[in-house]
Amino acid sequence: MAHGPEKALTGIAGITGILVTPHDDAGEYPAANRLIENKRGFEDIRAEAQNRTNVTGVKAALVAIGQECGPTRPPSAWPLADRQQRTLDAVIADNRLTDLKEATT
């Protein structure tokens, strides 16, 4: 079970599952796969540095949508490297997760 910031992001990342299900049920597998693939950059960030960016990626994503949750504790990498932040920003924009920021403010 997810706790803390990971639990919060589960709801955000879970949106992908909600969006994928109708396509999957209708046999529209290419559309479902595109939605899944759009989140790959986020998952790649979380897996970097022997998973030291797992919580970092989650917290950076939450901050990016307006859910301030503070920095990570060592040995996590904080903040994301510029390259990682650009990737995360693109994932958030491509998946329209900035809409969640507006909904939570």
Give the model confidence (pLDDT) of 37-69 as tens digits: 888 888 888 888 888 888 888 888 888 888 888
DSSP letter, residue 76: S
Residue type, 29: Y
**Nearest-angstrom CA–CA distance, 8 and 81:** 22
Structure confidence at residue 83 (pLDDT): 96
**Nearest-angstrom CA–CA distance, 28 and 85:** 31
In this model, does residue 92 exceed pLDDT 50? yes
Counted residue by residue, the chain has a size of 105
Grouping H, G, I as helix, E, B as strand and the rest as coil, residue 26 is coil
Q: Is the pTM of this model over 0.95?
A: no
